[in-house]
Structures are given as structure tokens and as C-alpha cells.
């Protein structure tokens, strides 16, 4: 009797939603996870004024389950064929790709909530330690008098404290994957 990953995931999420004292937090997390597909359904569909609130969710979540399970199955198939062919799994590519997916979903959730959401803080926290270093550098430049707080230069540098750490974090995960690959090669 084969049980799919989606069935197990749905059962676990359902159990968490029932048992959790903060049911809204669990269900909101699920809706934010499927937010990209919900948004696509909302943008493409021509819904009436009363169906805008529920139909994109009813259609977007199953579509997200199908798309995410297909992506997971493709990744799993690739990893299993790599193992069968006795080739190395390249963590230097897997780690940055996974972070780009997770960071992209967090950024989109922040963007679609007009940057007034807990997801914005989670996106910034996902760039540890690069974002904290960029902010520390910015404030140290201000404390030493190189940049006046509130000036045009300050705003320009402050706008760079998101994309530059994001690129640095992707590079960080690439380097971590490179180290893991080197450790695996040394073991073989």
C-alpha cells in the first residue's frame, strides 16, 4: 500500500491545525506557502466581486500541491538517478538553489503584503549573517561621520542592505556546498 508524500503532509498539517493552539498561524503559513500559485490563479482568473476571496484559494492550493509535488518528484528523480549512476551529488548547486527557492518565496510573501508583514522579517533573518553585517557596516559608517543619517547617500546605502546580502547569502550557501563536496570527495 503506497502512501504519497502529499497525503502524509496533509495529515500532518491537519493534525497540527487541530492540535495547535494557534490554528490561524498554521493555516496562514500554509496559505503563504501556496501564495505564489494563489496569486497566479487570482491574476489569470476572471473572478466576480464576491468570489475573489475564496475561489483563488480553492483553486490555487491544489494547483500548488500539484506543482510543488511535481518539482519535488523531479528533484527526487534526479537525485536517485545520480546515485544510481554513481555520480556525485553536487551540493554546491543544491544548497544555493534551495535557498533561492526559500528566499524567493519569503520575499514574494513580503512583497505581496506590501512590505508590512512578519514575512519581511523572516526574509531578512534568512540572510544571516550577511544582512546583519551589512546593517552593522552601514551604522558604523554613520557613527564615524562618513554618511549622514537621512541623507540621499544614507537612503541609497540603506536600499543596498537587502539585495547585496541576498547575493552574499547565495554565495555563502554555494561555498558551504563546495566544502561539503570536498569533504565527500576526501572520504571516497
Residue 11 belongs to some domain of the structure? no
The total domain count for the chain is 1
Tell me the per-residue pLDDT of 70-98, one tens digit each, with 9 for 90 and over. Answer: 877 777 777 777 655 556 667 888 888 88
Residue 5 belongs to some domain of the structure? no
Q: 118 φ, ψ to 5°?
A: -70, -20
Output the pLDDT for position 66.
Answer: 81
Residue 124 belongs to some domain of the structure? yes
By three-state DSSP, how is residue 168 classified? helix
CB 131, CB 165: distance < 8 Å: yes
> Residue 42 contacts by C-beta under 8 Å, 6 or more apart in sequence?
52, 56, 60
The answer to whether residue 54 scores a pLDDT higher than 50 is yes
CB 111, CB 150: distance < 8 Å: no
Question: Alpha-carbon distance 50 to 145, whole Å?
Answer: 55
> Residue 94 contacts by C-beta under 8 Å, 6 or more apart in sequence?
177
With cut-offs at 50, 70 and 90, classify the pLDDT of residue 26: low
Residue 159 belongs to some domain of the structure? yes
Output the pLDDT for position 1.
Answer: 39
Residue 75 belongs to some domain of the structure? no
Q: Which of 18-22, 98-102, 112-116, 163-167 has the lowest mean pLDDT?
A: 18-22
Residue 61 belongs to some domain of the structure? no
Residue 133 belongs to some domain of the structure? yes
Range of the domain at 164: 88-188
Alpha-carbon separation of residue 136 from 60, 154, 166 (angstroms): 40, 13, 16
Residue 132 belongs to some domain of the structure? yes
Determine the average pLDDT of the residues in 56-74: 79
Q: What is the mean pLDDT of the chain?
A: 76
**Omega before 129 cis (within 30°)?**
yes
Amino acid at each position: 500500500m503506497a502512501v504519497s508524500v502529499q497525503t502524509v503532509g496533509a495529515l500532518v498539517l491537519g493534525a497540527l491545525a487541530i492540535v495547535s493552539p494557534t490554528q490561524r498561524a498554521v493555516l496562514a503559513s500554509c496559505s503563504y506557502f501556496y501564495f505564489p500559485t494563489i496569486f497566479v490563479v487570482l491574476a489569470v482568473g476572471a473572478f466576480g466581486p464576491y468570489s475573489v476571496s475564496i475561489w483563488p484559494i480553492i483553486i490555487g492550493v491544489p494547483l500548488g500541491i500539484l506543482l510543488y509535488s511535481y518539482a519535488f518528484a523531479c528533484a527526487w528523480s534526479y537525485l536517485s538517478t545520480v546515485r544510481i549512476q554513481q555520480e556525485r551529488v553536487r551540493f554546491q548547486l543544491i544548497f544555493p538553489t534551495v535557498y533561492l527557492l526559500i528566499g524567493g518565496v519569503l520575499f514574494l510573501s513580503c512583497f505581496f503584503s506590501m512590505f508590512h508583514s512578519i514575512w519581511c522579517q523572516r526574509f531578512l533573518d534568512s540572510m544571516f549573517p550577511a544582512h546583519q553585517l551589512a546593517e552593522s557596516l552601514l551604522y558604523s559608517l554613520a557613527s564615524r561621520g562618513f554618511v549622514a543619517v537621512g541623507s540621499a547617500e544614507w537612503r541609497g546605502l540603506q536600499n543596498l542592505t537587502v539585495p547585496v546580502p541576498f547575493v552574499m547569502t547565495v554565495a555563502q550557501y554555494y561555498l558551504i556546498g563546495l566544502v561539503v563536496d570536498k569533504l565527500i570527495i576526501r572520504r571516497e
